[in-house]
Amino acid sequence: AASGLPELERLASTVSAWWPEILAFLDTGTTNAGSEGTNRVIKTVARDAYGFRNPVNQRLRTRCATTRKARGCFNPA
């Protein structure tokens, strides 16, 4: 961190600040990627449905986009 390079010093500062979270990932292997992906889909659908006059329709469209069955992931056994 004491290299004199601003980029390296900032990287060391960021890693130091996030170290508990990094260590938790290394210990558990758990991430929040699923929830981040769902949030991205919700925001994209909300942008696409911006012109809707009825907020209920916008909510229904968001729910349909984030349901596994609607995305083709449903596999009845």
Query: What does the pLDDT look like over 42-75, one tens digit per residue?
Result: 888 878 777 777 878 777 777 777 776 655 544 4
Q: Contact, 44 vs 62, CB < 8 A?
A: no
The share of the chain scoring above pLDDT 90, in percent, equals: 29
Angle between helices 33-48 and 55-65 (to 10 degrees): 140
> What amino acid is encoded at 6 in this protein?
P
Q: Return the H-helix or E-strand segment holding 77.
A: none
Per-residue confidence (pLDDT) for residue 18, from 0 to 100:
93
- The model carries a pTM of 0.50
Question: Cα(22)–Cα(67) distance, rounded to whole angstroms?
Answer: 30
